[in-house]
Structure 1
Amino acid sequence: MGTISSGVIWSANMVFPIPDGYDSADAAPLLCAGSTVFTVLTGPDVKSTDRIGIMGIGGLGHLAIKLAATMGHEVVVLSTSESKRQEALEYGATEFHVYDSEKPAPPGFRPLNHLLLCGNTGSKNFNNLIELLAVHGTIYPLTVSAENTPIDLGELTGLGASIRGSLTASRRTICELLRFASRHGIKPTVMTFPMTEDGVKQAIDTLKNGKMRYRGVLVR
């Protein structure tokens, strides 16, 4: 389907029904960014009482905060910028820490059961991130990097911790996410642009300038 096409025909088994009353502009970011974090948060090893760390407040991170908070998790946000504190708390975070993975854990930091890496994983010091985990804790790198990532297996083994990838969400999972978001009133933070040539250019310029908050959506 072309970017500014008016329609397309697909098998009903290959599309995702959007719940009545839920805006398509809000549904669109859930199909990729939302489903990426939802797959982790609904995994078999994640309990509602777990302490969930989210590193990076962007397209993935802001949705991870909203979803995890709604599920009842204790949500701990880690960011390199103090300017993100108020926003993180408004999205549902219970804690916020200014943190750089090149530094040790913040003083008095309580360990995490799970840590979702929602930004650039290639620049992260995984050995310091492992120190943020509780026993049997898990790190989920949710973005792809071509950089080599050295890891101290002694640190990993000593905690019984793991670093785990996340598969692309299934259709069933995405449909479940759409229903969950609709039922609980969870909406991505989006910027909309007209589905025209000028609108596409404006969206790309906004993205290149680092001004996108936090997903751009083309609408008619």
Structure 2
Amino acid sequence: MKKALIMLGCVLGLHTFSFAQEIPVKGFAVMEPGFEFQPYEFTRHAVGNDEIQIEIMYCGICHSDLHEARQDWMEEHYPLVPGHEIAGRVVKVGKNVTKFEVGDFAGVGCIVNSCHTCDECNHNREQYCPKMVSTYNSVDYYHDGEITQGGYSNTIVVSQDYALRIPDGADMKRVAPLLCAGITTYSPIRFAGVKSGDRVGIAGFGGLGHMAVQYAVALGAKVTVFDITEEKRDDALRMGAVRYVNVNRPEELEGLNGMFDFILSTIPAPYDMSMYLRMLDFGGQFGIVGVPAFKEIPNLTLDQFIWNGGRKVFGSMIGGIRETQEMLDYSVAHGIYPEVEIIKADAAIIGEAYQNVLDGKVKFRYVIDMSTIK
């Protein structure tokens, strides 16, 4: 229809019709469940009046990207371009944009839109909006139902209200994972009210866990790290943990029941949740952010809540836009960043990185240098 109208306008010598052009994009996608990436060219909608276009410089690989690529959680839309840890430079702004200018550094996290009117949106909890739009693999209710595609690509278009301002002086190579791994751990730590002197346990010491350790240590907590390998013990202590527990060594678990004020689980695989519940002191809190594949979801039974009365369990999903900006500003100001390994924007390399994440062979976050895309 658009082409027909444009041709008609040309024939009649009219200038009535004006259609914004879609934006060509290069990226990497999986075409079916698995880790086999392919170069993939697609288009994004034109920059709207309240939107900005970001040239993507770096995009992190999150463990949730693996779950999405393998269809561990829900039915996916293929081709699937993952990536919700995005950092880059603004190259175009809509006519009503006031928050960004061309040349600014900006980021995109896990959310690219929401309804703006529900109770969750009105309280800056857009991540729980019933019509929240995820950065990829999501129906975009506000753009004709198109399926969103993520940051394993060279450019993205997003509303100014869902873009994050990257502070001056930020380490661009390491800032992208803050927009998921950072906020996913910062938010529950703040919600739990962690303060100086608190006894905090971090279960799982990967991409999320090593961020949680840094935030808790920065707040003055006494942090214990739980993981399944010896390879990360020195790293945990270097980041400020006072103790490292290898859960595969039963002797290291002795005497820990009732010892913690707060435990945050970042574990993306099956595990014994009741073990951590027992480690809480009376009134202690157990926060959960790690989500394994649905077929492997661990659980707590009703009797375990009763026998461990007075302990609180809550879940947390990323954070709203305002809190994400707060986290970003705090992290850069305090020098809190993920430890990353930069990889080239290449389909085979990305697939190999996915397998390494699955096998626990990365410390701690892969980041794709999207400027190397060909």
TM-score surpassing 0.5?
yes
Question: Cα deviation per residue 1:134-155 (whole Å; 9 max; x = unaligned)?
Answer: 1101111211243352431232
SS in 2 for 1:13: helix
Contact 1:105–1:131 (8 Å) recurs in 2: no
Give the C-alpha shift of residue 177 in structure 1.
1.1
Q: Which runs of 5+ in 1 are unaligned?
A: none
2:335 maps to which residue?
185
Give the C-alpha shift of residue 38 in structure 1.
0.2
Count of residue correspondences: 217
Distance 1:81 1:210, change over 3 A: closer
* Among candidates 64, 70, 90, match of residue 238 of structure 2: 90
2:187 maps to which residue?
39
Q: Distance in 2 between matches of 1:185 and 1:148?
A: 35
- Name which one, 1 or 2, has greater alpha-carbon Rg: 2
Q: Distance in 2 between matches of 1:107 and 1:78?
A: 14
Deviates more, 1:84-93 or 1:20-29: 20-29
Give the helix-richer structure, 1 or 2.
1
* Among candidates 279, 284, 300, match of residue 137 of structure 1: 284
1:116 maps to which residue?
264
Contact 1:117–1:141 (8 Å) recurs in 2: yes
Q: Which runs of 5+ in 2 are unaligned?
A: 1-148
Q: Distance in 2 between matches of 1:114 and 1:161?
A: 10
Question: Could you tell me the TM-score, scaled by structure 1's length?
Answer: 0.86
Q: Distance in 2 between matches of 1:34 and 1:173?
A: 11
Give the C-alpha shift of residue 171 in structure 1.
0.7
SS in 2 for 1:9: strand
Root mean square deviation, CA, Å:
2.5
Identity %, equivalent residues: 28
Question: Cα deviation per residue 1:80-136 (whole Å; 9 max; x = unaligned)?
Answer: 33332211000110222233598894237771000011114632141x322211110
Question: Could you tell me the TM-score, scaled by structure 2's length?
Answer: 0.53
1:20 maps to which residue?
168
Q: Distance in 2 between matches of 1:108 and 1:174?
A: 33
Structure number with greater CO (CA < 8 Å, separation at least 6) is 1
* Among candidates 147, 153, 158, match of residue 10 of structure 1: 158
Distance 1:94 1:68, change over 3 A: same
Question: Cα deviation per residue 1:41-83 (whole Å; 9 max; x = unaligned)?
Answer: 1115433332111111101111111111112111111223333
